[in-house]
Amino acid sequence: MNCRSLPHVSGSTQRRGSLERLRTGNRRAVTGLLATEGPLSRADLARGTGLSRTTVSSLVRDLIESGHVVETEDRGTPYKGGSGRPPLLVRLATPSGGVAGVDVGHRHVRVAVADRSGAILAEAETAVDVDAHGAGALDEAAKMVRAMARKAEIPMTDLQAVGMCVPAPIDRRSAQISSGILPGWRDLVPSEELERRLKIPVVADNDANLGALAELHHGAGHGTSDVIYVKVASGLGAGIILGGRLHRGTTGIAGEIGHVQLHEDGRVCRCGNRGCLETEASAPRLLSLLRPAYDDDLTTERVLELDLLGDAGVRRVLSDAGRTIGRALADLCNSLNPEMIVMGGSLGSSPAMVEGIRASLDRYAQPATAAAVRVVSGQLGDRAEVVGAVALAVARVGAI
């Protein structure tokens, strides 16, 4: 029997390969943080990535020499308000071309085209029956990307990446929708399907995760590192930021608080279980409770107006919903100890709902945990998901 010996790889060669992979990963961490946060000092980069200042200084020097990063003329603020000399800031070099963000909701598609820094140049939205017609929604999204690229005067050949938001969890292993929430998307891989239509790299994530990224970097959560973003709309879900980074979980479904079970014999949920939180506190459920006393055409926009006007019935229903959601969030806060909860979605900005969540946290979370967490309304409204999709695309391009 002939035996073929395997090629010998020396220990020094293996070590060099490991070190290069480590350095490549560190470069991606630095450029990814600059892509989402904008100009930062070297000390800020060290704190944001967890790398040592010596490592960050070496990486930044290499990135400046390669043309990927430049120093700005502006200076930052000394750490913790110190009296030292303001630090120099660095930012990603802004090459030509752009990126696109695609927000696929349950009933709409919204598209934004931005430059490589993430500044949005053109944006549009159209009504689409997304849930039942996955292929049709993707066709519309591709058409809108082309139209917005023309409006932004960016050739399609200069679009570098597309970030895509879908209103359902995505399995990290298969990149498919990981539940039965979107029946018309069965067997579709959203990122691959849109990439096939556009011939541009596409990266996808769910709506709560991208809303969390948007509010973290451009909204109410800016400057924090441990945040739970809660979206209350046609469904109910959360995006979890830990240590400044999005936590997706092993299969990509971390934060699905809408499917925490409240009642074993409750209403059947679209996920297939019974008695989920979503069946009690989502926007459609709350509208169904209010319409008999108000108007059959009652909308979430009108509900928010009545809440701000102090309408007793609306405030009672929204406050009760907030307490119900807050009960689930109290358990999550006991485990994660976040600094902030940001409320988003069509009803997330409701003052009565925020008050109800606050009351449940104070009652059910550990006292120190409850005292440490703030509950606020998001600042980006219904644009949070498309802003997050653009940020995802910028990070994809910046991850060199």
Tell me what pLDDT residue 40 has.
Answer: 87
Which is more confidently placed, 12 or 289?
Answer: 289
Which is more confidently placed, 272 or 82?
Answer: 272
Q: How confident is the model at residue 197 (pLDDT cuts 50, 70, 90)?
A: very high
Residues near 196 by beta carbon (within 8 Å), at least 6 away in sequence: none
Task: Give percent above pLDDT 90 in the chain.
Answer: 59
User: Are 253 and 346 part of one and the same domain?
Assistant: yes
Domain at 133, CATH number: 3.30.420.40
- Tell me how many domains the chain contains: 3
Cα–chain center distance at 300: 22
Q: Would you call 223 exposed, middle or buried from its count of C-beta atoms within 10 A (0-12, 13-18, 19+)?
A: exposed
User: Are 31 and 173 part of one and the same domain?
Assistant: no
Nearest to 170 by CA among 201, 202, 133: 202
210 belongs to a structural domain: no
* pLDDT mean over 67-83: 68
Cα–chain center distance at 272: 25
User: Are 275 and 335 part of one and the same domain?
Assistant: yes
User: Are 361 and 389 part of one and the same domain?
Assistant: no
CB–CB of 101/112 below 8 Å?
A: yes
Residue 174 has pLDDT above 80, yes or no: yes
Long-range pairs, 54-58, Cβ under 8 A, ≥24: 55/26, 56/30
User: Are 104 and 174 part of one and the same domain?
Assistant: yes
Task: Give percent above pLDDT 70 in the chain.
Answer: 91
211 belongs to a structural domain: no
Q: Would you call 173 exposed, middle or buried from its count of C-beta atoms within 10 A (0-12, 13-18, 19+)?
A: exposed
Domain at 34, CATH number: 1.10.10.10
CB–CB of 376/220 below 8 Å?
A: yes
Q: Which helix (H) or strand (E) holds 70?
A: strand 69-75
CB–CB of 240/213 below 8 Å?
A: no
User: Are 229 and 116 part of one and the same domain?
Assistant: no
Report the interhelical angle of 312-336 vs 300-308 (nearest 10°): 100
* pLDDT mean over 167-184: 81
Which is more confidently placed, 94 or 24?
Answer: 24
What pTM did the predictor assign? 0.78
Residue 281 has pLDDT above 90, yes or no: yes
Q: How far apart are CA 33 and CA 6, in angstroms?
A: 41
Which of 112-116, 269-273, 329-333 bottoms out in mean pLDDT, i.e. has the lowest? 269-273
319 belongs to a structural domain: yes
* pLDDT mean over 23-52: 84
User: Hey, is 69 helix, strand or coil?
Assistant: strand
User: Are 236 and 363 part of one and the same domain?
Assistant: yes
Tell me what pLDDT residue 400 has.
Answer: 45
User: Are 186 and 290 part of one and the same domain?
Assistant: no
Both ends of the chain: CA-CA distance in Å?
A: 47
- Choose the final residue of a domain: 49, 66, 92: 92
Q: How confident is the model at residue 144 (pLDDT cuts 50, 70, 90)?
A: very high
User: Are 176 and 235 part of one and the same domain?
Assistant: no
163 belongs to a structural domain: yes
Which of 35-39, 281-285, 317-321 bottoms out in mean pLDDT, i.e. has the lowest? 35-39
42 belongs to a structural domain: yes
User: Are 179 and 47 part of one and the same domain?
Assistant: no
Tell me what pLDDT residue 79 has.
Answer: 55
Q: How confident is the model at residue 109 (pLDDT cuts 50, 70, 90)?
A: very high
121 belongs to a structural domain: yes
Q: Which helix (H) or strand (E) holds 328?
A: helix 312-336
Tell me what pLDDT residue 390 has.
Answer: 94
Q: How far apart are CA 59 and CA 372, in angstroms?
A: 35
Tell me what pLDDT residue 292 has.
Answer: 94
User: Are 190 and 227 part of one and the same domain?
Assistant: no
Which is more confidently placed, 324 or 77?
Answer: 324
Which is more confidently placed, 161 or 269?
Answer: 161
Query: 261: which DSSP letter?
Result: B
Tell me what pLDDT residue 177 has.
Answer: 84
Sort residue 245 into left (φ over 0), alpha (ψ -120 to 50) or beta. beta
229 belongs to a structural domain: yes
Tell me what pLDDT residue 145 has.
Answer: 97
Token pair of 215 as six digits: 């509010």
Question: pLDDT tens digit string along 344-393?
Answer: 999 988 999 999 999 999 999 999 999 999 999 999 999 999 999 999 99
Q: Mean pLDDT over all residues of the chain?
A: 88
- Domain of residue 356 covers 220-379
User: Are 251 and 349 part of one and the same domain?
Assistant: yes
Burial 138-147 (b: 16+ CB within 10 A, else e): bbbbbebbbe
212 belongs to a structural domain: no
* pLDDT mean over 276-282: 92
Q: How far apart are CA 5 and CA 165, in angstroms?
A: 50
* pLDDT mean over 60-71: 87
